[in-house]
Every structure is written in structure tokens, then in C-alpha cells.
Structure 1
Amino acid sequence: MTSPTTATDRPVVVVTGASSGIGAASARALAADGWHPVLGARRLDRLREIADETGGTALPLDVTDAASVETFVGRVRDLGNVRGLVNNAGGAKGTETVMDADEEHWRWMWESNVLGTMRITKGLLPSLIASGDGHVVTITSIAGLETYDGGSGYTSAKHAEGALHRTLRGELLGQPVRLTEIAPGAVETEFSLVRFGGDTERADKVYDGITPLTADDVAATVAFAMSRPSHVNLDTIVMKPRDQASGMRFYRQ
């Protein structure tokens, strides 16, 4: 399936940032568990390939654009039983210090990680509540739990995204919606390539000498959390490679 939005018998799960990495892997893992994944991202050609593979639906989505989110949410509702949301869209740009902060980098990181998560969650919460058994999974980062030099733009955005998600846990208490935050450490995806503006050499150095997590590792955790009985809420899951102790502390071979 690609763009059609006809009702499905399977429970619907929306995955943002689903054109690659953790988002694409999560769509595959959830489809294998019986979900109908709705894949949202800007790269529609890549989404269509994954939708064809998983029997899901590919829809264009730019979480930094309120109009795009509104259109996306409207089309998702047409599919029927919307029970899941995986907030995965986001990312980092640059490693400037606060003194050398690039405001455009900051603006993009806050729009994609924080406001984007707010927009899509706000738009889908009525459907998730109405389903009687909703689940919101937000992929944050260990950068949302600590700070490191040169990462102020990203760590501040991820702290804010995590605070948004954890606040929902209280605001939705008593509603039939579970909330799980997954905070990964080093995962080898396109993340570092985006952060370093396409510089492959710099991106590869991040993982030199370690065995990082993979997108499939995180996706398996997403699927596990969402497959627990409805009374079980896995609130916060922190996962790192064995070779990583903190954001900037690694054991390198």
C-alpha cells in the first residue's frame, strides 16, 4: 500500500521519521506483530518501499509544518482503529558550543524534536483515547537525560521532548493510553551523517572501535513494549551499547 487510506482490520500504528533507521525498523517489527503501520516522513519514495514490504500505508509528513501534520492526521483517522504512535522523527545538527551556536540548527532541532512531537501527539491523542487501548512511544535519547560539550542544541531539545512525554503520563492518568519513553545511546543509523552535514568520515568516527546499537535493536524494544498486556506500562527504557557508559564515555577497541 502507498497513499490509499481505506479502513484496515489491523490496529493502526503511526510511525514518524519512518523512511530509514529506527522508524523503518520499527514499522517492520510492528507489522510482524500484526499492526498496520502508517509511515510518515518527507521522503515518500522510501516510505513507499517500506509500506509495500510491510503491508502498511505511506503518507507524506513534515512534523515541522503544522499544515502537513494536520493533513496527515486527517488521513490517518480514515484508516480506523488508531491505537499506536511511535514518535521517532527528529535529529541533531551540528556540534557548536553555546558561544558559537547556530540559531538555524537550534531552530530545526527544536521544531523537529519538540514541536513536531507535540503536533503529531496532540493530533492523534483523541483517536488513541477513543481506541480504548492506545499507546504512545517516544524515542528520545540519553541526550535527554544528560548533557555534553558541543551538544547543547540537541540535548536541550531532547530534554524538552522527554519532559513533554513524561508530562503526558500524568495528564493522561485514568485514560486508556500507555506511554513509553525509549532513550537510546549510540545507534548506527543516518543520525550522525545528518548531524555532520553529510560528512561520512566524521560520522563513521563516532562508531570507531565500538559495537553500537542497531535500528533493529531499538525496534525490537519498541515492539516488546507495545506487546505487553494493556495494564502494563513500561515507562522509561534506557538502552546503550555495552561499550558505552554515558553520552561521551566509550570503551573503544
Structure 2
Amino acid sequence: MTVSIVRFGGSNCDRDAKRALEHLGIDAEIVWHEDGLPADTEGIVLPGGFSYGDYLRAGAMAARSPIMESVREAASEGVPVLGVCNGAQIGCESGLTDGAFTTNESARFQCEHVYLRVERADTPWTAAYEEGDVIEIPIAHGEGRYEIPDDRLAKLEDDDRVLFRYCDENGETNPAANPNGSKNAVAGVLGDRDTVAVMMPHPERATLPDIGPTDGRGVLRAFE
């Protein structure tokens, strides 16, 4: 599989994603957004960073780049698409998934390791885990708080489209384990297809054994 990592002006986790994927033996290339998706694209990563300086809203300008129409079309055809951090913001802004990410409850940038509970294990992104598993993944964001109107949240929950939830090391959800104040401790969600996902934590930063935990490998193995 060839994974296209879409680089926007201000992306800064594209090379991290490429290195992590290649470490797993997955072919990946960085694609400048103005050049469009290569014809051999079989997977797509929207990486983290600060696309367009987070002007207007984080991810809002990148979501309106012409390449996102191609990303949505690919997603509708079953191509795996993963949005991480700023890529998650872009994914929500472009309609790949429901909800939005906004300013952390702390009103400050947060960079730390957090625990996530796997809410579903029957998706490409979580097939390496068991439902209820607790994994350790780092975050690095200032606008990571997941927000969604209550009625749409209820539908999201009813449709079982919450992928990861912030928790403590024992798998319990509580305010102390929710680093940014996300509604219902949501850390990652699925689109209409389970081949589309966005998540605020960085699995590519939890893949290489030389720099810490490797719990993020399971997420990226969806591209194998």
C-alpha cells in the first residue's frame, strides 16, 4: 500500500508520520497539497502541525484546499484516511467526521503522554487491540477539546463511532484523565465508514522504540 501524507503550509508532523510508517514497512510519501493525490494512493494521512497558522479556526483553511475534495472522494470509496491532531481538525472541518476540536479547557498548549481506552476493536485502526485495552499515546495541542452538540453526540454514541476515549491507566474515565476537557472524554472518532478516523493524540510519536512507548503502532497498521 502506498500512503500519501498530505502536507499543507504549516504541517510539521508529516516527516514523523513518514518515518513511523516506513518503520512498519509501509510505503509512504509526502504530497504537497497543491499537487493533488498521486494515482497510486491507497491510504491517506492528514498529519499534525499548524496548517496556515491556525488562522480562523484550526484546520479551517486547509479543509478548503482543493485536495480535500479528492480526499473525501477517496474516503467514500473505502480508502483508509487518518487525521491526526491538526489533521483531525482538518478532517472535522471538511466533513470527514462529525464534531469539532476547539481550545483546550486549560486555554494553553499541552504536550504530554495520556492514556486512551479502545472503545472498538473491530475497525482497521484498532484491530491490533482488544476492546477496553488501555494504550499510552502522546498529545501536543492547544485546540484539542472535542465538542459536538448533545443530540449529535448521542447519535455518535448510538452509532458506536467513538474510537478512543481519554482515561486513566486503569481505563477509568474521569476529569483528571481528560487532558483538554473533551466532551465525553472523546479522543478519536470514526467517519461514516470505519476506514475513516480522526484522533487528537499522535500514534506516529508512539511507534519508534528508541523514543518511548510503541502503543501507536496498532493504529498505523491499518495501512498494511
Which structure has the highest helix share of the two? Answer: 1
Same fold flag (TM > 0.5): no
TM-score (norm 2): 0.37
TM-score (norm 1): 0.34
Structure (1 or 2) with the larger CA radius of gyration: 1
Which structure has the highest strand share of the two? Answer: 2
